[in-house]
């Protein structure tokens, strides 16, 4: 590990010097393969072009389909001294417009498909076509100058996460926290030069950092798995085998998609030896099916919020669990501390629950253009009365078990995890309440069945509501069930009776 | 068939499942839907859709899915 590293691009430059012709990223189609030398050459070209056109130290939107080229565009933004903001072609227009009005970006990189959509957006800046911008000449002098002025707390990316007020929040991360994350994650999961990642998570969240940067650090290879394969378990395992994928960091629902249909009776992953999962509870029954199929493989539970650059805790599955057990979160990565703070802002005692708070270099810089929201959750460490020191309050409630391992207990608000995505139920409700015909609505989450249920009172059919929500919210935020009520159940205090709604939820 | 249409319509009320034959190809249903459909088909028709039948051809239309359910019922 290079203690002096200040810029994530040093990972790329190290890989290029040692393994220029090795394939870095692919999507399974050989025509998409891109070598480290090509990643370097093309991203340096993008950076040179952006800088020469006057885009420097500002957000640059990367609006491209999920493809190795999008990753190159990310690095290109960083080469130019900018920070990338990934948007996805499947994001609804309404959400993209919200994000653009928050960012007010001046530049955007598109591919030939997404440029058509971009032309219809409320975007007045300059659009660069990927296929054209990579042919720009590389200005080594400019790149060196940008690098010499850069410091490791400069931002690299902004990713947007659900906001309870209906407006997504942009989390800004810097070189230093990403380097800290990549180094510690790599130690825990023991990535190396022979690692072949099978990427599942979207490129527009922090989750994909796990594959993107370790690929550069070790000169490994990352294969983006086509999203449609996650519907068809046998085809998915065939793909893993065809591409000799040995390492996956997936959301739990992607893993259980395979294990719950007896897929392993027909076909087994032949090369897979490292399986990391997170963001959701792994049902022990499904975990056991996986461990039985791959007894030699290492299984690791990861935990962490986007605000702390991805993951910050891990638990290596080292023992059998009873069917009603929960896999622990475990303990923090090196160079991170977890504080469990109770209601009095003191450390929780043995067995006592408390809010999980993160302390360390892994903290991101906060929410873009939103000092108010930032200061609500990035706060002074209440245990430190003597100098400024920030911690991040996750809003997750946890406790330590008798072994001293951290265990997730619940949320202190209405944020949920669904299909690996973090969702504020309030964001769904705000969008439904905007409809004139809706008088009142409430969203509840059925944890057992992993379903979001929306109840509403108003003169609209559930089909109409779903159709409108699909234009406004990402797919994973669309309620799984929408039900019209005559009246909304209220508590004695006149608030919506969520408990009553949740119990209605259980009945069907 | 009606029960199947109802299962599907509950997931996507805005889709006409009697006529649509590109549920997978046009990305109308996703992996979450597939899991829900399989579990609800299991409850409604008491058939288990095995992994080797979870392929695009069987999920592109309500008709194809219904044919699969009938086939699995006959095999029992």
Give the pLDDT of residue A259. Answer: 94
CATH number of the domain where residue A2 is located = 3.40.50.980
- Give me the pLDDT at residue A475, please: 87
Number of structural domains (chain A) is 3
Spatial contact of A456 and B11, defined as CB atoms under 8 Å apart: no
**Where does A52-111 show beta strands of DSSP type E?**
59-63, 83-87, 107-110
> Which positions of chain B have pLDDT values less than 70?
none
Domain range spanning residue B17? 2-75
Residue A449 distance to chain B (closest CA, Å): 10
- A489 & A352 share domain: no
Burial of A215-253, coded b for 16+ CB within 10 Å and e otherwise, reads bbbbbbbbbbbeeebbbbbbbbbebbeebebbbbbbbbb
When pLDDT is cut at 50, 70 and 90, the band that residue A85 belongs to is: very high
CB-nearest partner of A232 from B13, B50, B56: B56
CATH classification of the domain holding A489: 3.30.300.30
A1 has a pLDDT exceeding 60: no
Give the containing element (helix H, strand E) for A327: none
**pLDDT of A199:** 98
Residue A507 has pLDDT above 70, yes or no: no
Same domain? A74 vs A93 = yes
Look-up of token digits 């550069």: A216
- Token readout for A24 is 């870095």
A255 pairs with which residues across the strands?
Answer: none
Helix (H) or strand (E) holding A144: helix A140-149
Q: Is residue A424 within 8 Å of residue A162, measured between CB atoms? A: yes
**Subunit contact A231:B12, Cβ cutoff 8 A:** no
Instruction: Choose among A231, A266, A482: nearest Cβ to B34.
Output: A231
Q: Does the pLDDT value for residue A2 go beyond 60?
A: no
Question: Which residues of chain B make contact with A462, given a CB cutoff of 8 A?
Answer: 13
Is residue A328 a part of any domain in this protein?
no
pLDDT tens-digit map of A348-378:
998 899 999 999 999 999 999 999 999 999 9
Partnered with residue A451 across adjacent β-strands are A446
Query: Is B25 part of the contact surface with chain A (CB cutoff 8 Å)?
Result: no
Rounded-to-integer distance, Cα A285 and Cα A501, Å: 29
Query: Hey, which residues does A277 pair with through a beta bridge?
Result: A250, A301
Give the pLDDT of residue A505: 59
Q: What percent of chain A has pLDDT over 70?
A: 99
> In a 10 Å sphere around its CB, with 0-12 CB exposed, 13-18 middle and 19+ buried, how is residue A334 labelled?
exposed
Cβ-nearest to B31 among A231, A466, A482? A231
Residue A265 is assigned to a structural domain of this protein: no
Q: Residues of B with CB below 8 A from A260's CB? A: 35
Q: What is the CATH number of the domain that holds B40?
A: 1.10.1200.10
- Domain assignment present for A59: yes
How confident is the model at residue A3, as a pLDDT? Answer: 57
Q: Which two tokens stand for residue A115?
A: 């440029």
A387 CB neighbour count, 10 Å cutoff: 7
Judgement on whether residues A426 and A391 belong to the same structural domain of the protein: no
Threshold 0.90, pTM exceeds: yes
Instruction: Name the domain count of chain B.
Output: 1
Residues A143 and A19 in one domain: yes
A375 occurs within a structural domain: yes
Angle at A124 between CA A121 and CA A130, to 5 degrees: 75
What ipTM was estimated for this complex? 0.91
Residues A406, A440, single domain; the answer is no
Of A137, A172, A207, the domain-final residue = A172
What pLDDT, on the 0 to 100 scale, is given for residue A91? 86
Is A321 among the domain residues?
no
Cβ pair B35:A260 closer than 8 A: yes
Residue-level pLDDT at B76:
73
Q: Are residues A346 and A484 in the same domain?
A: no
3-state SS string for A232-254: CHHHHHHHHHHCCCCEEEEEHHH
**d(C-alpha A197, C-alpha A188), whole Å:** 15
Q: Do A424 and A388 have their domain in common?
A: no
Residues A431 and A399 in one domain: no
Whether A488 shows a pLDDT value over 80: the answer reads: yes
Instruction: Return the CATH number at A340.
Output: 2.30.38.10
Q: What is the pLDDT of residue A419?
A: 83
- CA dist B76 and B72 (Å) reads 7
A285 assigned to some structural domain: no
Q: Which of A106, A138, A172 is the last residue of a domain?
A: A172
CA pair distance A405, A358, nearest whole angstrom: 16
Is A162 found in the same domain as A25?
yes
Q: Where are the alpha helices (DSSP H) in A230-370?
A: 233-242, 252-259, 284-293
User: pLDDT tens digit string along A459-486?
Assistant: 999 889 998 998 899 888 999 889 999 9
My answer on whether A78 and A157 are in the same domain is yes
Residues A391 and A423 in one domain: no
Cα A231 from Cα A258, distance rounded (Å): 9
Whether residue A163 sits in one domain with residue A75: yes
The three-state secondary structure class of A340 is strand
Residue ranges making up the domain that contains A122: 1-172
Which chain B residues contact residue A417 at CB under 8 A?
none
Instruction: Answer whether A466's CB lies under 8 Å from B13's CB.
Output: yes
Give the count of Cβ contacts less than 8 A between chain A and B: 60
A425 domain-assigned: yes
State pLDDT tens for residues A163-195. 888 889 999 999 999 999 999 999 999 999 999
Which strands sit side by side in the sheet containing A169-174, from one edge to the other?
A126-129, A107-110, A59-63, A83-87, A155-161, A169-174, A366-367
Query: Does A201 fall in a domain?
Result: no
Most confident of A3-7, A348-352, A384-388, B35-39: A384-388
Nearest to B14 among A260, A261, A463 (CB): A463
For chain A, give the percent of residues with pLDDT over 90: 82
Q: CA–CA separation, A367 vs A168, rounded Å?
A: 10
């Amino acid at each position: 590990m290079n203690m002096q590293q200040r810029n994530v691009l040093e990972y790329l430059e190290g890989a290029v010097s040692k393994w220029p012709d090795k394939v870095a990223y692919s999507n399974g189609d050989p025509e998409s393969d891109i070598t480290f030398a090509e990643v370097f050459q093309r991203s340096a070209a993008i950076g040179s072009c952006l800088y020469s056109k006057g885009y420097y130290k500002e957000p640059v939107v990367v609006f491209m389909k999920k493809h190795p080229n999008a990753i190159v565009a990310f690095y290109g933004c960083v080469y130019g001294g900018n920070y990338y903001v990934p948007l996805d072609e499947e994001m609804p227009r309404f959400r993209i417009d919200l994000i653009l009005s928050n960012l007010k970006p001046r530049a955007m990189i598109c591919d030939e498909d997404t440029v058509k959509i971009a032309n219809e957006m409320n975007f007045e800046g300059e659009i660069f076509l990927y296929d054209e911008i990579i042919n720009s000449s590389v200005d080594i002098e400019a790149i060196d100058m940008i690098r010499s002025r850069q410091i490791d707390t400069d931002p690299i990316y902004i990713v947007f996460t659900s906001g309870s007020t209906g407006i997504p929040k942009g989390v800004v991360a810097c070189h230093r926290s990403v380097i800290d994350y990549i180094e510690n994650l790599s130690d825990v999961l023991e990535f190396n030069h022979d690692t072949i990642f099978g990427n599942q998570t979207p490129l527009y969240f922090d989750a994909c950092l796990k594959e993107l940067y370790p690929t550069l650090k070790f000169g490994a290879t990352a294969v983006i798995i086509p999203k449609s394969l996650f519907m068809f378990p046998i085809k998915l395992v065939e793909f893993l085998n065809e591409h000799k994928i040995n390492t996956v960091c997936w959301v739990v629902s992607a893993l259980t998609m395979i294990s719950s249909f007896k897929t392993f009776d027909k076909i087994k992953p032949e090369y897979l030896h490292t399986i990391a999962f997170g963001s959701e509870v792994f049902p022990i029954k499904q975990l056991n099916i996986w461990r039985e199929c791959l007894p030699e493989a290492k299984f690791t539970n990861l935990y962490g919020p986007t605000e702390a650059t991805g993951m910050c805790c891990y638990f290596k599955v080292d023992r059998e669990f009873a069917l009603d057990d929960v896999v622990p979160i475990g303990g923090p990565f090196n160079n991170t501390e977890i504080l469990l703070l109770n209601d009095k802002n003191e450390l929780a005692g043995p067995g006592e629950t408390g809010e999980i708070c993160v302390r360390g270099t892994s903290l991101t810089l906060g929410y873009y253009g939103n000092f108010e929201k930032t200061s609500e959750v990035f706060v002074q460490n209440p245990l430190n009365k003597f100098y400024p020191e920030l911690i991040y309050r996750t809003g997750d409630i946890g406790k330590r078990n008798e072994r001293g391992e951290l265990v997730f207990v619940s949320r202190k608000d209405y944020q949920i995890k669904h299909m690996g995505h973090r969702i504020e139920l309030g964001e769904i409700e705000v969008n439904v309440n905007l409809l004139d015909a809706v008088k009142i609505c409430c969203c509840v989450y059925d944890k057992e069945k992993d379903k979001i249920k929306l109840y509403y009172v108003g003169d609209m059919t559930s089909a109409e509501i779903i159709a409108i929500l699909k234009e406004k919210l990402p797919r994973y935020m669309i309620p799984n069930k929408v039900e019209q009520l005559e009246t909304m159940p209220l508590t004695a205090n006149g608030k919506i009776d969520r408990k009553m709604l949740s119990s209605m939820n259980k009945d069907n | 068939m009606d029960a199947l249409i109802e299962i599907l319509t509950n997931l996507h009320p805005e889709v006409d499942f009697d006529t649509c034959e590109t549920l997978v190809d046009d990305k109308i249903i996703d992996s979450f839907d597939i899991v829900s459909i399989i579990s609800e088909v299991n409850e409604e028709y008491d058939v288990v859709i095995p992994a080797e039948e979870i392929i695009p051809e069987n999920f592109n239309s309500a008709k194809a899915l219904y044919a699969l359910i009938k086939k699995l019922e006959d095999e029992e």
